[in-house]
Amino acid sequence: MTVTISVFEQSPDRGKGLARDMPVRWALEEVGCPYDVRLVSFEAMKQAPHLALHPFGQIPTYEEGDLRLFESGAIVLHVAERHAGLLPADGDSRARAVAWMFAALSTVEPPIVERSMAMLMESGKSWHAQRLSMLDDRVRQRLGALSRRLGDADWLEGGFSAGDLMMVSVLRRLASSGLLDEYPNLSAYVARGEARPAFQRAFDAQLAIFNALSQGFPQ
């Protein structure tokens, strides 16, 4: 059955692979599932045809036959459950790998997103530096705990899993902050994820959309 995902027609991250279609693409590449892409503009995202796929008018969405899904975590979990390669066979290990997916999205990511929003929306405010320092410390609390748990292991739950895929995707959002450099084992963990051939294919595919678009722009 053909899989179609929706992605930004014009991603604000300018091809850095930080939008949330990236983990979905990466998961599909890891399991060897081909997929088509529907490019959606910011305008089209808020119109009825796309809202029928995504109640909040966002990307990514996932279509496969009669199945329509939204939420990158739910999509990655669906892909991981339907194909071999992203979840351990043993039930307990599998449950722990799924727990890491949730940890990535609901424990590690919120302070990272809050920091990104502060950088984007509040950098001109007189109190920005003070608030940023507080937000940095909140991110550090999560990174410190994650770093201690990962230790010198390659991945969070034995072999590479959907839990690592989501965690690396979330940590990549810190690239420009410098915070990850304070935790060498986490920097190495992200680099290991990014070095996977499936990650590279996913990254190149989203970058190709940005490059095609920029060729249409006057320099």
Chain residues binding ligand GTB by CB under 6 A are 12-13, 18-20, 45, 57-60, 71-73
Nearer to ligand GTB, 12 or 158 (CB): 12
The DSSP line for 182-198 is: G-HHHHHHHHHHHTSHH
Shortest Å distance, C-beta 59 to ligand GTB: 4
Shortest Å distance, C-beta 159 to ligand GTB: 24
Shortest Å distance, C-beta 182 to ligand GTB: 21
The DSSP line for 1-24 is: --EEEEEESS-TTTTSS-STHHHH
Nearer to ligand GTB, 12 or 184 (CB): 12
Angle at 188 between CA 182 and CA 193, to 5 degrees: 130
Nearer to ligand GTB, 56 or 127 (CB): 56
Nearer to ligand GTB, 73 or 163 (CB): 73
Contacts of 102 (CB under 8 A, 6+ apart): 73
Angle at 195 between CA 161 and CA 37, to 5 degrees: 75
Say if CB 79 and CB 35 are below 8 A apart. no
Shortest Å distance, C-beta 211 to ligand GTB: 16
